[in-house]
Chains A and B, each alone.
Chain A
Amino acid sequence: MSSASQANEHVAHHFESAEQQRQSAQLGMWAFLVTEVMFFSGLFAAYIIYRSLYPEAWTVGSHMLSIGLGGFNTIILLCSSLTMALAVHAAQTDKRGASARWIILTIVLGLAFLGVKMVEYSAKIEHHLVPGAHFHLDPAQELANLQAAGVQVGDHLRHAMETVNTAHVQLFFSLYFAITGLHALHMIIGIGVMIWLLKTTIEGRYSSAYINPVEVSGLYWHFVDIVWIFLFPLLYLVGRH
């Protein structure tokens, strides 16, 4: 713990100590994250209700997504959470250069995530899987394609492909684009925050006596990672067996 006199220049007049200021910053960010959880909860609620009503549409929709790309993005995001944690660690231990390098790596990984997402989105657009007038899905053809590709099609998937109502698959893709789109927006904002954090880190604004912005930016970044941790199995891995 740093004494108040040591960190004095960083402590705003309405705080008693650096520690109180730090806890207030964390509390503020956590309060924001609680509202963020509620923000995403609405979409997750829609997901749960429609999945419980139309399970076969979720099985078919999920099979149209690429586990390879989704899994790759999951690993990218987990890596970025590690680099973010290490950036905070470096800032805590007065290693400004290392902190800046970890932040740069976090930004690069964040951009890589968005790049993969763009590849996925353009493939969905190309295959007419965007809900609306141009949506087109032929489950019988998809089933034939899977079998032609040598995929072992289980009874569960075959049944879903044979009985699905494609209007319900549109519902799956509406939620897919809404949730991953909102998540991607959070990533874009997060990268913006990271660029600002990099600038201020290089300027030398942070030391072990004052790292509140680094810590709370990290909290936000990890939260966005947690959202994806739930999205990956709930969107990409439904009814795969």
Chain B
Amino acid sequence: MSEKHVIPVGTYVGIFTALIALTGLTVWVAFHDFGSMNTVIAVGIACIKALLVALFFMHLKYSARILWLYAGTAIAFFILLITITLSDYRSREWFPTPKAWSQPTATAPGASH
């Protein structure tokens, strides 16, 4: 399945050209107002570029499937980190803060323990 696969030079040059074109596209998009979609488009283009680099320059397309699992693990842990951290930060205003938490005290927090 994964014996050495020599990718033709033409493919590399094609991928490189696509990467340069996508860089131009991401700059073009940044100067046009798509509202809140600007960031989504920017990250989307970056993901496509990263995928092209991984699949062809890093030969992932022709590699053993366990390497796909490894690459997927990296993405999964990134999503896990962001989701859990953001769900904390973004939900903080959802509930009222108990008054005692926000009142300044004479002693430093934790000093009484």
Contact = CB atoms under 8 A, between A and B. Distances in A.
Interface in B34-50: 34, 38-39, 42-43, 45-46, 49-50
Interface stretch (A37-45, A171-179, A187-195): A37-45
B50 A230 contact: yes
A234 B73 CA distance: 23
Contacts of B49: 226, 229
B82 A45 contact: yes
Given A41-B81, A86-B12, A241-B38, A1 B4 contact: yes
A37 B3 contact: no
Interface residues of B, number: 50
A89 B12 contact: yes
Contact of B53 (A23, A30, A226): A226
Contacts of B9: 86, 89
Q: Interface residues of B: mostly helix, strand, loop or mixed?
A: helix
Contacts, number: 137
Contacts of B89: 49, 52-53
A110 interface: no
Closest 6 CB pairs of A and B: A237-B30, A37-B74, A1-B3, A233-B42, A241-B33, A30-B70
Interface of B: 2-4, 6-7, 9, 12-13, 16, 19-20, 23, 26-27, 30-34, 38-39, 42-43, 45-46, 49-50, 53-54, 56-59, 63-64, 66-67, 70-71, 73-75, 77-78, 81-82, 85-86, 89-90
Interface of A: 1-2, 19, 22-23, 26-27, 30-31, 33-34, 37-38, 41-42, 44-45, 48-49, 52-53, 67, 71, 74-75, 78-79, 81-82, 84-86, 89, 92-93, 154, 156, 208, 215, 218-219, 222-223, 225-226, 229-230, 232-234, 237-241
